[in-house]
Amino acid sequence: MNTENKTNRIIVNILIALHLMLTYAQFRYDSSFLIMSTLVIGLVLYIFSFFKKTYLRENITYILILSGLLFLGAFNYITNDNTNLYGFIVSLISYGGVALSTLNYRLFPKLFKYLFWIPALFFVYHILIGGNANYVLLQSQNYVTIVLFLFLGYIYISDFQNNNMNLNLLELSVSLIIALWAQGRSGIISLVLLFVLTYITVLQKSSKIKMTRKFGYSLFLIICLVGVIVFALPHRERLLSRFYLVSISQTSHRLIMWIDYLKKISQSAKFFIFGAGENQFLGLISLYGHVHNSFLNIHSKFGLIGFVLILIMFYKAITFLYRNYRLLFVYFVCLLFRAFTDDIFPIYLGDFFLYYLIGLSIFKSKYLVLVSSQKAKVKIDET
């Protein structure tokens, strides 16, 4: 990472930032122009990634893995019509290119912290005018926290790449407030977990006295802000009611779809091996939009082989982060929890996370050098 060309790094960061903003725009506007623009940027980023000769083997392995997933997706498309093949090709080029370039080049932390405030302030504006979260991003309150996770992800990754152990207090606090306004249960829970686990992780790695003060001040701030939001919002009753205990016997849209999918793959060897596409339970999909589970979606798109392969690579990436850089580990654990209750990937606007974790499982040996310097820096800070 230290041998990277500065000019290339600047260009790559600008392209990634532009891609991120175009992705955010797709949460607001259904436009083929936006899709094609991200496609072109992704292709250019693939080219820049191969400028890094020191990562040539890892880059080739990454391409081969994604080509294997493309083959599985194409095979499922031919056999079961399970996969949006065009969408997957676009995803591989667009988000796959961004993920690969992020693995090859360090991000500028300040750039992505500034970018975070573009959607954040947009959401805050709608809070102040009494807007409805369901009508802010393509008529879905769930998109709000997905967007926040997307932008926070780049902040956490840039901190990891640049040997930083930042609290990101303001960004997390505002994200939690926005999540409360959006009133999505899994979004609120995942951001609360991210907030708490981030503090615990940073407290363990830094000066206890200094960080204890920061934790106390920030906790007081969050309690005040949450109290204001909960008791000032005109729809606070709905927010609180969404966390009442719900019996499994009661109707749950997500639960119905999950059980329906699991029944289909358990009753058919074909669906179990190749995946039961959305066309197999079209009635539920037409009512609720998607299956609301990224892991079932992976099985649906790539079948059993692709599902197992991706889970193995997730495991390798997550365990690597757990052993070597706990803060990014915390982020991805919270993200995967969020992905369990919504379609974030694959063939979706959160595909960057899918490809980044796949790539990290391949690049982890190269990143050990970066992690070792991170440990040395923390040790110096503590003395």
Model confidence over 94-113: pLDDT tens digits?
A: 999 999 999 999 999 999 99
What pLDDT was estimated at residue 128? 86
Identify whether the C-beta of residue 107 lies closer than 8 Å to the C-beta of residue 16. yes
Give mean pLDDT, residues 160-183. 84
Domain of 221?
3-235+269-382
Q: In terms of pLDDT, which residue wins out, 104 or 53?
A: 104
Map residue 143 onto helix, strand or coil.
helix
Q: Which helix (H) or strand (E) holds 40?
A: helix 32-49
State how many domains the chain has: 1
Q: Where are the alpha helices (DSSP H) in the chain?
A: 6-26, 32-49, 56-80, 85-104, 109-128, 142-161, 169-182, 185-205, 208-232, 236-241, 253-267, 269-274, 282-288, 294-324, 326-339, 351-382
What pLDDT was estimated at residue 61? 92
Identify whether the C-beta of residue 123 lies closer than 8 Å to the C-beta of residue 181. yes
Q: Is 369 exposed, middle or buried (0-12, 13-18, 19+ CB in 10 A)?
A: exposed
Q: Is 336 exposed, middle or buried (0-12, 13-18, 19+ CB in 10 A)?
A: middle
Segment 333-377, tens digit of pLDDT: 999 999 888 888 887 888 999 999 999 999 887 776 555 555 544
pLDDT category, 381, cuts 50, 70, 90?
very low
Q: Is residue 318 part of a domain?
A: yes
Dihedral sign from CA coordinates of 127, 130, 133, 138:
negative
Alpha-carbon gap, residue 330 to 198, rounded angstroms: 7
Residues in contact with 157: Cβ distance below 8 Å, sequence separation at least 6, in sequence order: 102, 107, 328, 356
Q: Is residue 17 part of a domain?
A: yes
Give mean pLDDT, residues 138-153. 86
Q: Is residue 106 part of a domain?
A: yes
Q: Is residue 103 part of a domain?
A: yes
- pTM of the predicted protein model: 0.85
Q: Is residue 364 part of a domain?
A: yes
Alpha-carbon gap, residue 217 to 287, rounded angstroms: 45
Give mean pLDDT, residues 217-234. 60
Q: Is residue 263 part of a domain?
A: no
Amino acid type, 133: A
What pLDDT was estimated at residue 130? 79
pLDDT category, 249, cuts 50, 70, 90?
very low
Amino acid type, 305: I
Identify whether the C-beta of residue 86 lies closer than 8 Å to the C-beta of residue 68. no
Both tokens of 298, joined, read: 């992976």
Q: Is residue 244 part of a domain?
A: no
Q: What share of the chain is helix, strand, coil (3-state, %, to 5)?
A: 80, 0, 20
Map residue 108 onto helix, strand or coil.
coil
Alpha-carbon gap, residue 148 to 136, rounded angstroms: 13
Give mean pLDDT, residues 122-139. 82
Amino acid type, 190: S
Identify whether the C-beta of residue 49 lies closer than 8 Å to the C-beta of residue 8. no
Q: Is residue 186 part of a domain?
A: yes
Give mean pLDDT, residues 113-133. 89
Q: In terms of pLDDT, which residue wins out, 195 or 208?
A: 195
Alpha-carbon gap, residue 13 to 198, rounded angstroms: 25
Map residue 247 onto helix, strand or coil.
coil
